[in-house]
Amino acid sequence: MARFTLSNRILVVDDEKSERMTISYHLRNAGFEVFDAQSAEEGLALALEKNPAVIISDIRLRGMSGIELLRKIKDMNSAIMFILITAFGSIEDAVYSINLGAENYLAKPINLDELEFIVRKTIEKTELLQEAQYLRSQLQHSRKFDKLVGSDTRMREVFNIIEQVAPSTANVLIYGESGTGKELVGEAVHKLSDRAHGPFIRVNCAVFTDTLLESELFGHEKGAFTGAYARRAGRFEMADGGTLYLDDINMMPERTQIKLMRFLQEREF
């Protein structure tokens, strides 16, 4: 399972120097990388530069307030967690800040050990949220590509190409050695396309003779040849609105290749 480790950067914003320095000193001793700012404007600039995991800010600041800083930070990067502190605590401020996205709300005087505990829990919570988001995206990815799995660079390139090709109406050539999963790629292209609601029809061109392959692809009318006792729809007709996957197309007889080329150009037979 993937593990996420956030940066341990903390930004402390308070216009009271003694309070700011006390909090910063304690958190540095606790192992965090701490930056401090004496105004919300300075804090906003530092947040853009340092991208902290958590911001601890006083609500009452000269100029821009801590709540306004919270709003701007969340608009900029909702993943940055926010803890607000104030000497003028009120239920209204607490509810309002939580609704804006603050993780916690503390009243002065600050218990430094409690603050350190809250900071650690906040980072831990964020790591768990990011891990859950990653696992959900992996689950969606595995469902999207069904039987295709892999996370190395080459497989990611394959997935990217499939996603680019699938919305197109162009013909797709999939090539590779035997057993490399060409048919699985074809299925994935089909499932991600606008034709996913239609059928996925397979034809192995190597197992039919010239005449039988033509009949298999194009179908035939009753009496077209000896043994044609009834009309039969071909694979092209059966795949209408869906996807036709031609396996071992390099084994197709030349005469049939010419007819196939005409069909691909004119889209009718």
Q: What is the pLDDT of residues 57-96, one digit of tens each?
A: 998 888 898 989 999 998 888 889 999 988 766 667 767 7
146 close to 187: Cβ distance less than 8 angstroms: yes
Nearest to 214 by CA among 264, 268, 258, 265: 258
Residue % of the chain over a pLDDT of 90:
28
Q: Which residues contact residue 199 at a Cβ distance below 8 angstroms, ignoring those fewer than 6 apart?
A: 238, 239, 241, 242, 243
Residue % of the chain over a pLDDT of 70:
87
238 close to 199: Cβ distance less than 8 angstroms: yes
For residue 2, what pLDDT is reported? 45
The answer, yes or no, to whether residue 4 has pLDDT greater than 50, is: no
pTM: 0.52
For residue 57, what pLDDT is reported? 93
State the SS3 of 203-237: EEHHHCCHHHHHHHHHEECCCCCCCCCCCEECHHH
Nearest to 68 by CA among 118, 13, 115, 19: 13
The DSSP output letter for 121 is H
Query: Which pairs from 132-140 meet CB under 8 Å and 24+ separation?
Result: 134/2, 134/4, 135/1, 135/2
Q: Which residues contact residue 142 at a Cβ distance below 8 angstroms, ignoring those fewer than 6 apart?
A: 149
Q: What is the DSSP string of 2-66?
A: -------EEEEE-S-HHHHHHHHHHHHHTT-EEEEESSHHHHHHHHHHH--SEEEEES--SSS-H
Residue bearing tokens 């039969």: 232
| Most confident range, picked from 20-24, 85-89, 191-195, 207-211 | 20-24
